[in-house]
Amino acid sequence: TNSIVQTFDQFTSSSGNSRHSMHSVSRNKLLSSQNNLPKGLPSHLEKLPLEEQPWFHPSLTRSEAEELIRNEPEGSFLVRPSETCPNDFSLTIKHKTFLHMKITRNNAGQFILGEYSQPYSSVSQMIYHYARTLVPVLGAYSVTLTHPVFKRV
């Protein structure tokens, strides 16, 4: 779809201060044309295991995740281990405030987002799917994963 989304641009002014501007853009302008993925999320990474994904933060806590994406644009996201359930993960998304959506395994060992998503064979497959489509969120709205937040090295 070519929905309109709010996006933030960050730029540095001539005085060196970081500035932000918000504007509406076509969702298609945020996507790279050949694979319908957000710019900055190249499709060649899609097959990498979770541990090698640049948006996976293996030792980040919930509060650290919030701090990391606090000044990032709407649609920014990362995946981290769940603090409350070992072997599960959390998808942290910047949307107005912060969303923390649990990624669990079903009885067949496949990954699901929340309670009702379709199953995926890997967390990576799930994230790349939701980078191409809307993430359904409890309530009447959906979120788009548009800006992966890469781990700092």
* pLDDT, tens digit (0-9, with 9 covering 90-100), for 1-60: 333 333 333 333 333 433 333 333 334 434 444 456 776 677 778 889 999 999 999 999
pTM of this prediction exceeds 0.85: no
* Residue pLDDT, tens place only, 45-81: 888 999 999 999 999 999 999 999 999 999 999 999 9
CATH 3.30.505.10 matches 34-148: yes
Q: Write out the two tokens for 7.
A: 């996006």
Per-residue model confidence (pLDDT) at position 55: 95
Residue 105 burial (C-beta neighbours within 10 Å; 0-12, 13-18, 19+):
middle
Segment among 25-39, 61-75, 94-108, 121-135 with least mean pLDDT: 25-39
Helix, strand, coil percent values for the chain (each to nearest 5): 20, 35, 45
Domain residue spans in the chain? Answer: 34-148
Question: What pLDDT score was predicted for residue 151?
Answer: 86
The whole-number pLDDT of residue 35 equals 56
Question: What's the count of helices (H) and strands (E) in the chain, helices before strands?
Answer: 3, 9
Name the band, by pLDDT with cuts 50, 70 and 90, for residue 153: low
Q: Is residue 103 pLDDT above 80, yes or no?
A: yes
Per the structure block, which two tokens stand in for 20?
A: 């932000």
112 has a pLDDT exceeding 90: yes
Which of the four pLDDT bands, split at 50, 70 and 90, describes residue 132?
Answer: confident
